[in-house]
Structure 1
Amino acid sequence: MRVKDHILRHLADPGLAPPAIAAAHFVSVRYLHKLFQSEGVTVGEWIRTQRLERCRRDLLRSPAPGDGVAAVARRWGFTSPSHFSRAFRAAYGVAPREWRIHGLAREAVTDAAERERPGGPARCP
């Protein structure tokens, strides 16, 4: 859990890699890989999955000026926009730009429908 917490706190660091993670926890790289092996995933795969999830979430938020797809990718540690696009498409079956466009369109339709509903947006008790 401490290793995963460390990774999550440092996801934005493009240099986040097994040797640095192992050194921060005073374990060998081999032992670090062994910890993740029991979950059926490599350290690199787990990092990439976490980064992609955060990018996916951020792409659905209303973009700030200059907050393009590449900026979102850089924010979460991807240094190459093309690598990010390939990884995103492989993970989610759609390009990041398409995800943003369709996700924001869906969000706008949902928001409009909630505003038109009598009593406004539904609230949880």
Structure 2
Amino acid sequence: MSPASLSGAFHISTRYLQKLFQSQGLTVAGWIRRRRLHGARRDLTDPLLGDLPIHAIATRWGFPSPAQFSRAFRAAHDLSPAAYRRHAEEWQK
């Protein structure tokens, strides 16, 4: 997912898409990043995906490297992905 692919899917220009997000105080890239982090966070807490390596979850949600995913996740949640997964496992017990 990218600003170009979103604008293409909705048959609008990338510039117009950016203006729509700007009117809401958002950027397209920021919204995409939040959606990816939300999906990754959900996968990290899914017991059915407990054996899936964190780097595979990062790749699944479009992060180009595990390090970039880890930095973005920590910035958003104040925990590393591994620590978040461990805490989620404890919460589910």
Q: TM-score, normalised by structure 2?
A: 0.90
Query: Which position in structure 2 is the counterpart of 1:82?
Result: 67
Query: Which of 44, 61, 80 is the aligned partner of 2:29?
Result: 44
Q: How many residues align?
A: 92
Larger CA Rg, structure 1 vs 2: 1
Structure 1 residue ranges, 4+ long, deviating more than 4 angstroms after superposition: none
Q: Work out whether residues 18 and 28 of structure 2, in 8 Å CA contact, stay in contact via their aligned partners in 1.
A: yes
Q: Distance in 2 between matches of 1:79 and 1:68?
A: 15
Q: Distance in 2 between matches of 1:43 and 1:30?
A: 10
- Larger helix proportion of the pair: 2
Percent of residue pairs bearing the same amino acid type: 46
For 1:58-116, what per-residue CA distance to the aligned partner results, in whole angstroms no more than 9, with x for missing partners? Answer: 10112354x011111111111211100000000000000000011101211xxxxxxxx
Cα RMSD (Å): 1.2
Q: Distance in 2 between matches of 1:48 and 1:106?
A: 26
Question: What amino acid maps onto 1:83 in structure 2?
Answer: Q
Q: TM-score, normalised by structure 1?
A: 0.68
For 1:24-72, what per-residue CA distance to the aligned partner results, in whole angstroms no more than 9, with x for missing partners? Answer: 322111101001111111001001101101111110112354x011111
